[in-house]
Amino acid sequence: MEYQDSGSYPFTRGDARFYPDVLNEQVEVCDRMDDGLTVSAQLRFHGAVQLEVTDRTGADIFCAKQNLDIPEGTPVSLRVCVQNLDCTAWHDGVS
């Protein structure tokens, strides 16, 4: 999922991905603009935000990643937030 606003159009400020897997899951977030703002991905499951991963490296090739272990079949929600701006809507998935 991507975070884009009128100040970044036609580019995105950042994006995030959730990779489900049988052994472990991974959340990845990428800061896409050299604007000095931190981009974060928030993963919610079991009724609360359980993980937040941040990237503040700007438009380089590196993204922040974190592995975690969630029981298979657990409903999850992911969103992207940009420091001092806003967050996307929650997007639902399954581990």
For the cut 90, the answer to whether the pLDDT of residue 9 exceeds it is no
State the DSSP string of the chain. Answer: -EE--TTTTTS-SEEEEEE--SS-EEEEEEE-SSSS--EEEEEEETTEEEEEEEE---SSS--EEEEE---TT-EEEEEEEETTS-BPPPEEEE-
**Per-residue pLDDT for 23 more than 80?**
no
pLDDT value for 21:
83
